[in-house]
Amino acid sequence: MGLDRRVFFKLLGVTGLTLAIGKESVATPKGKDEVEFFGILYDSTRCVGCRTCEYECAAAHGLPEPSSEIEAVRKTDETCNTVVNTFQTEKGEVYVKRQCMHCNEPACDAACLTQAMHKNKTGPVTWDGDKCMGCRYCMISCPFDMPKFEFHSSNPKIQKCDMCFDRQKTGEMPVCVTNCPNEALFYGKRRDLIKEARRRIYEQPELYVDYIYGEHDAGGTGWLYLSPVPFEELGMNTTLQNSSYPALTKGFLYSVPSVDLLLPPLLLGIYAATKNKQPKEEENE
Amino acid sequence: MNNSVYSVTKVKEHKFNWQFLFNELKPKGKWLTPFNIISIPIILLGLALIVYRFIFGIGSITNLTQEVPWGLWIGFDVVTGVAFAGGAYVVTFMVYILNMKNYHSIVRVTVLNGFLAYAFYTGALLLDLGRPWHVINPMIGNSFGTSSVLFLVAWHFVLYMLAELIEFSPAIAEWLGSRRAHKILSGMTIGAVIFGITLSTLHQSGLGALYLMAKDKIHPLWYSEFIPVMFLVSSIFAGLSMVIFEGSISRKVFFNRISEKNEKAQKGIVRGLSKICAVAMFAYLVLQFVVFIHGRNWGYLNSPMGYWFLVEMIGFVLLPMMLFFYSYRRGNILMIRIAAILTMVGVVLNRLNVTVIGFRWDLPVHYVPSWMEIVVTLAVIFTEIWIFRWVINRMPVLGDSPAWVSEEK
C-alpha cells in the first residue's frame, strides 16, 4: 500500500481545494461582450394603417410596389415581406402589421439542412441563397408560415423579412422603423422592448390588453406586439405552444447517435449467435 | 433457358468483353406489350413536363401553395415509396441476422426493389427541389445543418443506398462473370446488412420525424410525438406487403427467370411473411390505440376527418390484419395477396393523411395534385419498373446463381 496518512490528507486537501475553486470558476458568467438579440416592438394602438412600412420595405428589398387596393385580409407572399391588415373590433379599426417574427429559436433554422436559414447573433433570421437547395422544409416547419417560395421561377428564392440585416450591420435601423410616421415601431434590445411594453401596459391599462404577443409564444419572438383587443381578434394565432418548435424534434435527434452506435453491435451479436445453426434450405418449406 | 446466359458468361470469364455489355443493353423480347404501350407515352409526357418545370418553376406544373409547400411528390413518391422499400431491411434482417435461410430466395429481388425505389425517389426529390444544384451542400461539409431532421434523413438515405448496392453487388458480379469481384463483394454483405438495418431504422422513423415541427398544421388524429415510431413499425408490414405483391406479379411476368427450387419455396415464404405482417400490424394497432387514448382524441371522431381516420384504421389496418391471420392459418395464398394489397392501400392512405390530406386540413381551399404532378409520378414509377425488368431479365435475381458460385464455396 503506497497510501499513508500524510498522502491521504494531502490528496484530501487538494481535492477539496479543486472542488471549491473549480466550482467557483465554472460559475462565472461567460464574458461581458455577449450579444443580445435585437427586436422590434409593434404597438397597434399607435399604428394608423398608412402602409408606409409596406412601400418602404418593398423599395428597400427590390420587390414590386404594393398595390393600393386593399383586400380584406392579406398575407405576405413571395413579392411582399410585410402587410398591414385592418380589423373591425369593438374598439374601432385596429391595424396589424405582419411579417417574419424572428423567433428566438426559429423552427426554420433548425429545419434547414444546409444552414441557409440562419438566426444571426444579433437576432435577425436571414436566408442564404448560396446554401439553400429549395427543399421548403422551413415552410413546413414555420408555425407562422412566413418563409415564402417563388414557385414560378427557375431560380427560386425564399422571401421573408430579414429585419434589414444589412442595414443593422452598419448601425442603421430597419426601414420600417425609420419610416414609421407615428412611432408605432420601436427598435431595440429584446430585453428592453419587453420592459418598454410592460411600462406602456402598466401606465395605460385601459388602452391595452394585458398580453405581450411574442414574449413567450413559440418560445419567444424578436417581434413583440401590443394590442387594444385580444390577439385572436386580429388574426394572430394564440394557440401556439410556449416552448420553442425545435424542441419538438430534440428527442428524435438525441436518439439518433444512440441507435447508430448501439444497434450494430446488437445485430452483430445476434448474427454471431445464430450463425452456426444452419438448417438446410429445403427443410422449412 | 438459363443455359444460354451461362454460356455467355462462360465465354467472357477470361477477358472482359465490351461486346457482351453492349448486347446486354439491347432490349430483349417483344416490344409491343400492353405495359410498354401504356408506359412509353406516359414516360415521354413526364419527361416533357420535367423540362417545362425546370424552365418555368415548380408552380408551373404543380398545385403547391405557400401554405402547402410539399405535395404529392414528397408525400407519395418519397414518404410512401420509402415505406414500401422497407421490405429490404426486414428481409435482410431475417435472412442474414436471424439466419432464416428459407427466405434466402427472396433476398436479391427485395434488395433490388429497395435499391431502385431509393434511387428513383431520390431522383423524384430532385424534381421537387427549387435549387437542386445545391443538393450536394449538406454532403460536402460547407454547411452542415446538424440540428435538422432532414439532414439526418439525407445522410441516412445516401449511405443506405450504398449499403443496398453492396448487398446486391454479388448479383452484378455473377452477371459479369467476375469471380474475383464476386468473392470480395460477397464478403462485404454482412457488414452492409448490419449497416443497412441501422440506417433504415433511423430514416424510416426520420421521415415521420420531419413532420414533428408541423404540430399545428397536421390534424390531431394523425399528429403525435410518436409519428417516428408509427412510421417505423408500419414500414415493416408496408415493405413485406410489397414483397408479397411484387412476388405475385413477378411469378407471372418473369416465370422463365424463376428457378424451380425458388418457385417451390414461394408458398412457404408468402405464408411466413403473412404471419409477420399480421403480428406487426397488431403491434401497430395497439400503438395507434394507445396514442389515440393518450391524446384524448375522442372528440375528433364524430367529424368527417374522424370517419376518414376510422376508414383507415378499420378498413385498411384491422381488416387486412385479420385476413393475414386467417389466411396464414388456412394457407390461402390468394387471400394473403388480397390482404397485402389492402395493407398497401392503407399505408398509402396513412402517409398521405399525414403529409397531404391532413396537412392544413383547416384551409378553405385544399391542395389537390394537378394531373401533371400525377403524370410525373407515374413516369417515375414506370421508369423504375423498366429498369427493374431490365435487371431481372439479365442478372441472377429470381433464379439460381451460375454454377461457379457454389464451386467457389
Name the CATH code of domain A38-234 (choices 3.30.70.20, 3.40.50.150, 3.30.1490.70, 3.90.230.10). Answer: 3.30.70.20
Q: Report d(CA A96, CA A43) in Å as an integer.
A: 9
pLDDT the model gives residue B3: 43
Q: Report d(CA B31, CA A56) in Å as an integer.
A: 63
User: Hey, of A78, A81, A130, A140, which one would you mutate to test binding to chain B, going by the most B CBs within 10 A of its CB?
Assistant: A140
pLDDT the model gives residue B255: 83
| B141-189 pLDDT, tens digit each | 667 888 899 999 999 999 999 999 999 999 999 988 888 899 999 999 9
User: Hey, of A98, A109, A117, A135, which one would you mutate to test binding to chain B, going by the most B CBs within 10 A of its CB?
Assistant: A135
Residue A115 CA, chain-centre distance (Å), reads: 14
On chain A, the residues whose CB falls within 8 A of the CB of B206 are 252, 256
Q: Report d(CA B164, CA B200) in Å as an integer.
A: 11
First to last CA, chain A: 67
Which amino acid type is present at position B49? L
> Is A245's Cβ below 8 Å from some Cβ in B?
yes
Q: Which residue of A has its CA nearest to B95?
A: A271
pLDDT the model gives residue B269: 93
On chain A, the residues whose CB falls within 8 A of the CB of B195 are 264
Q: Report d(CA B67, CA A125) in Å as an integer.
A: 20
- Which of B404, B395, B402 minimizes the C-alpha distance to B116? B395
| B47-69 pLDDT, tens digit each | 999 999 999 999 999 999 999 99
Q: Report d(CA A158, CA A146) in Å as an integer.
A: 10
pLDDT means per 10 residues, chain A with 285 residues, are 66 64 50 78 94 94 85 87 93 94 96 94 94 95 96 95 94 95 95 96 95 95 96 93 94 92 94 73 47
CA distances from B388 to B250, B286, B394 (A): 11, 36, 10
CA distances from A156 to A134, A171, A173, B67, B124 (A): 7, 30, 28, 17, 18
C-alpha distance from A150 to closest chain B C-alpha (Å)? 8
Question: Is the separation of the CB atoms in B297 and B221 below 8 Å?
Answer: yes
On chain A, the residues whose CB falls within 8 A of the CB of B134 are 114, 130-134
CA distances from B89 to A128, B45, B273, B346 (A): 37, 34, 14, 20
Question: Is the separation of the CB atoms in B164 and B196 below 8 Å?
Answer: yes
Show me where the domains of chain A are located. Answer: 38-234
Question: Is the separation of the CB atoms in B72 and B373 below 8 Å?
Answer: yes
The 8-class DSSP code of residue B67 comes to: S
Q: For residue B76, give the C-alpha cell.
A: 407519395
Strands, E, within A69-157: which ranges?
83-89, 92-98, 117-119, 125-127, 148-149
Q: For residue B294, give the C-alpha cell.
A: 393518450
Q: For residue A136, give the C-alpha cell.
A: 421548403
Q: For residue B397, give the C-alpha cell.
A: 435475381
What percentage of chain B has pLDDT greater than the value 70? Answer: 95
Specify the 3-state DSSP secondary structure of A142. coil
Q: What is the four-CA torsion angle of A60, A64, A65, A69, rounded to 10 degrees? A: -140
**Longest Cα–Cα distance in chain A:** 91
pLDDT the model gives residue A207: 94
Residues B192-213, mean pLDDT to the nearest whole number: 95
The ipTM (two decimal places) reads 0.88
On chain B, the residues whose CB falls within 8 A of the CB of A275 are 99
Show me where the domains of chain B are located. Answer: 63-401
Which CATH number applies to B63-401? 1.20.1630.10
In DSSP terms, B70 is beta-bridged to none
Q: Report d(CA B154, CA B165) in Å as an integer.
A: 17
Sign of the alpha-carbon torsion through B365, B367, B368, B373: positive
Which amino acid type is present at position B255? F
Q: Report d(CA B80, CA B74) in Å as an integer.
A: 8
Neighbours of B187 (CB within 10 A): 10
Contact partners, residue A51, CB within 8 Å, separation at least 6: A66, A84
Q: Which residue has the higher pLDDT, B371 or B297?
A: B371
Neighbours of A197 (CB within 10 A): 23
Is B101 in Cβ contact with A279 (below 8 Å)?
Answer: yes
Q: Report d(CA B57, CA A154) in Å as an integer.
A: 5
Question: Is the separation of the CB atoms in B193 and B92 below 8 Å?
Answer: yes
Nearest to A150 among B57, B99, B193 (CB): B57
In DSSP terms, A83 is beta-bridged to A98
Is A135 in Cβ contact with B215 (below 8 Å)?
Answer: no
pLDDT the model gives residue B11: 44
Neighbours of B106 (CB within 10 A): 26
Residue A66 CA, chain-centre distance (Å), reads: 27
Q: Report d(CA B139, CA B154) in Å as an integer.
A: 9
Question: Is the separation of the CB atoms in B162 and B191 below 8 Å?
Answer: no
CA distances from B199 to A185, B138, B146, B153 (A): 50, 17, 16, 9
pLDDT the model gives residue A283: 47
- Which of B138, B365, B25, B97 minimizes the C-alpha distance to A265? B97
Q: What is the four-CA torsion angle of B15, B21, B23, B25, rounded to 10 degrees? A: 170
User: Hey, of B65, B147, B232, which one would you mutate to test binding to chain A, going by the most A CBs within 10 A of its CB?
Assistant: B147
Nearest to B102 among A259, A263, A281 (CB): A281
